[in-house]
């Protein structure tokens, strides 16, 4: 072997080693064929319609990369790069392993395809989905969205709070009621979501026959909580925060007999889990919707179980 042959041979071997290493590193993780079973320990459940739903639900915003990170815009990209399709399925499997049996999410097409793929691989996670189709008097687009979601296996539906807030503010409770009825006619439990408490009060006054509510709820004892002048300047159509009046929410929900899923319970990450869970459950929520990365699930579930096991007296009975 002369000098030139030796160098060419060495270069080819090195390139092959690098290529082999590169392929190994870049290979995507194999999605789990099914959730790990049995669960480490069951989370208490409540009934919503005909569904048994864990007291903790998995929030879909992190899985759709809509992180509510306030003015930190880079967080959206960071979340998108971390929560790949494979990671989303791993996260759902891990949640199931820890006893969370239900996911709440809106319906972007790609997220729906990932959910279907997860089920095809054996996943058992229930889906509560809010259609993002417009809610107009003819209800054509909304009805079609409901039909499509039920066809792919959605277990329950609710009217998106982004739609319900302005409808309640404009006095269009009839359209909220139509949305509820459309989902009920499709054969699944039907709820109403809202950031503004006016959604709940309007629905209760009009006796809208929803099966459950999804309403924001958390205290304001955190550094970036809304200041008094922000609260005064906000409108029902544009709240500008997660839960405008937690004390009023407690008072109103005391008299609501339908199950209540509280969301934004940690004010988009500003309130520690132990503080958040204790507050929402002692003050009347029946379920807590929690956005989590995979590495947060084990600890958050442990905190949830401890909170429920040591819960102080509730002024509102469990409503399921």
| pLDDT score at 63 | 77
CA distance 166 to 73: 26
How does the average pLDDT of the chain come out, rounded? 85
pLDDT of 120 higher than 80: yes
Nearest alpha-carbon partner for 196 in 245, 152, 134: 245
- In 10 A of CB 246, how many CB atoms? 19
Mean pLDDT of 202-211: 98
Say which range, 62-66, 163-167, 185-189, has the weakest mean pLDDT.
62-66
- pTM flag (> 0.75): yes
Number of alpha helices (DSSP H) and beta strands (DSSP E) in the chain: 12, 10
pLDDT of residue 226: 74
Helix (H, G, I), strand (E, B) or coil at 118: helix
The Cα 98–Cα 130 span in angstroms is 25
Tens digit of each residue's pLDDT (9 = 90 or more) over 129-162: 999 999 999 999 999 999 999 999 999 999 999 9
Q: Is the pLDDT of residue 239 over 50?
A: no
**For residue 201, how many other CB atoms are within 10 A of its CB?**
15
Give the ranges where the chain is alpha helix by DSSP (H).
Answer: 3-26, 74-82, 85-97, 109-120, 140-151, 161-169, 173-185, 197-205, 228-233, 246-253, 273-282, 294-309
CATH of domain 52-309: 3.20.20.100
Which is more confidently placed, 41 or 225? 225
pLDDT tens column, 8-44: 444 444 444 333 333 333 344 444 444 445 456 689 9
């Amino acid at each position: 072997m002369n000098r030139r042959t030796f160098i060419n041979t060495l270069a080819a071997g090195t390139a092959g080693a690098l290529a082999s290493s590169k392929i190994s590193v870049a290979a995507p993780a194999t999605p789990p064929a099914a959730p790990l079973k049995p669960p480490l320990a069951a989370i208490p459940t409540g009934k919503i319609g005909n569904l048994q739903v864990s007291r903790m639900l998995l929030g879909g915003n992190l899985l759709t990369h809509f992180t509510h990170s306030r003015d930190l815009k880079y967080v959206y990209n960071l979340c998108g790069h971390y929560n790949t399709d494979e990671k989303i399925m791993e996260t759902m499997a891990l949640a199931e392993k820890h006893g969370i049996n239900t996911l709440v999410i809106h319906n972007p097409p790609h997220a729906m395809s990932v959910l279907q793929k997860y089920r095809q691989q054996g996943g058992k996670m229930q889906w509560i989905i809010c259609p993002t189709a417009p809610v107009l008097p003819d209800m054509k687009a909304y009805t079609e969205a409901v039909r499509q979601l039920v066809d792919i296996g959605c277990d329950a539906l609710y009217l998106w709070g982004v739609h319900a807030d302005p409808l309640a503010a404009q006095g269009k409770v009839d359209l909220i009621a139509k949305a509820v009825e459309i989902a009920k006619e499709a054969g699944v439990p039907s709820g109403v979501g809202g950031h503004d408490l006016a959604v709940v009060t309007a629905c209760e006054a009009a006796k809208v026959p929803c099966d459950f509510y999804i309403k924001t709820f958390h205290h304001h004892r955190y550094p970036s909580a809304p200041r008094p002048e922000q609260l005064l300047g906000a409108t029902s159509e544009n709240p500008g925060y997660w839960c405008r009046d937690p004390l009023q929410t407690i008072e109103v929900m005391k008299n609501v007999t339908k199950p209540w899923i509280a969301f934004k319970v940690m004010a988009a990450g500003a309130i520690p889990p132990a503080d958040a869970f204790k507050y929402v459950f002692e003050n009347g929520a029946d379920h807590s919707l929690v956005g989590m990365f995979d590495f947060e699930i084990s600890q958050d579930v442990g905190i949830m179980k401890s909170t429920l096991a040591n819960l102080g007296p509730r002024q509102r009975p469990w409503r399921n």
